[in-house]
Amino acid sequence: MRHALAAQLLGAALAAGLILLFVPSLIVQPLATAAIQGLFAALASHLLRGPVWWLPIHLAFMPLAVLARGMGLPSWIWLAGFAMLLLTFWRTDRSRVPLYLTNALTSGALAELLPDAPIAVIDLGCGDGSLLRRLARARPDCRFVGFEHAPLTWAWAWLSCHRLPNIEIRLGDFWAHPLSNYSLVYAFLSPVPMQRLWNKAKPEMKADALLVSNSFAVPDIQPERIVEVADGRHSRLYCYRPADTYRPGPAGPGHKRGDCLAISAIEGAVDAQ
Ligand SMILES: C[S@@+](CC[C@H](N)C(=O)[O-])C[C@H]1O[C@@H](n2cnc3c(N)ncnc32)[C@H](O)[C@@H]1O
């Protein structure tokens, strides 16, 4: 967030300097001025090594703000829009985990990983609860818990899941919740918290419990298995057994004891979805 603010301010300073020096008449044309600011903000973000996905946001932010202002909408609309975004995405700047959802094919691949016996499953950051709904319908014998800290997203998940008796949607920070009661822990987060998740999972998860991470691998840990999903984005489910894994030492690659990497292509298994 600080990086984004710095890029915007740098962009504004550079655009203002350039315009005042070379084309002062442009300063009365808000859209052109905003477009130049956007260009410099994107450049500044790139130079500050900001994430690539911020570039279009920097390019478009000020021009869109100028266009929106021209629409003459009442000021409360902006406040309401900001509140909606805040309640939906909450502190993404801190958690570094935005909202995106597990698709139906990947949900199906995850359902295939559930053992025949009934177990307890937790979704760390359950979003709108759509993954849990699919799993709960597929496996009414299992118990599913979802934690979500964004209030509006949680409310959506709670409302859409409360009719299913085997789902519990909880509002709160999953980092504060122990993982010892679950046989499968599911995470679809981002690369940033994966090391922290591992540090939490290893002492807390019970022996043989499975940690499944959609798309993001734990650094330097060999998964027990990678499930490749035949969806458009080539999702991968990284499967670990944290209680039974050791980290590679400096002398060699090191793997989980007695395991080798297995890559399973889940194709057709979830065609029914
Ligand atoms: C990428 S989404 C995944 C949603 C869902 N698990 C799925 O796969 O469809 C991650 C979710 O985790 C939530 N989240 C991030 N950090 C969290 C935390 N510390 N506690 C609870 N929820 C969190 C975000 O608000 C977001 O809704």
Higher pLDDT, 72 or 17: 17
Q: ∠ CA 132-136-139 to the nearest 5 degrees?
A: 135
Residue with tokens 């920070």, as numbered in its chain: 173
Mutate to test the pocket of ligand 1, among 89, 94, 95 (most ligand atoms within 8 A of CB): 95
Which residue has the least CA distance to atom 4 on ligand 1? Answer: 127
Task: Compute the distance between CA of residue 220 and CA of residue 175 in angstroms, rounded to an integer.
Answer: 22
Cβ–ligand 1 distance for 97 under 6 Å, the answer yes
Higher pLDDT, 273 or 140: 140
Which residue has the least CA distance to atom 27 on ligand 1? Answer: 127
Residue 202: name the closest of 238, 248, 247 by CA.
247
Contact (CB, 8 A) for 167 and 161: yes
With a CB cutoff of 8 Å and minimum separation 6, the contacts of 165 are none
Element (DSSP H or E) covering residue 239: strand 236-240
Mutate to test the pocket of ligand 1, among 132, 149, 160, 171 (most ligand atoms within 8 A of CB): 149
Q: ∠ CA 192-146-88 to the nearest 5 degrees?
A: 65
Which residue has the least CA distance to atom 17 on ligand 1? Answer: 125
Least confident of 47-61, 154-168, 172-186, 207-221: 47-61
Please say if the pLDDT value at position 150 is more than 50: yes
Tell me the pLDDT band of 246, cut-offs 50, 70 and 90.
low
Give me the pLDDT at residue 248, please: 52
Which residue has the least CA distance to atom 12 on ligand 1? Answer: 125
Least confident of 22-26, 228-232, 255-259: 255-259
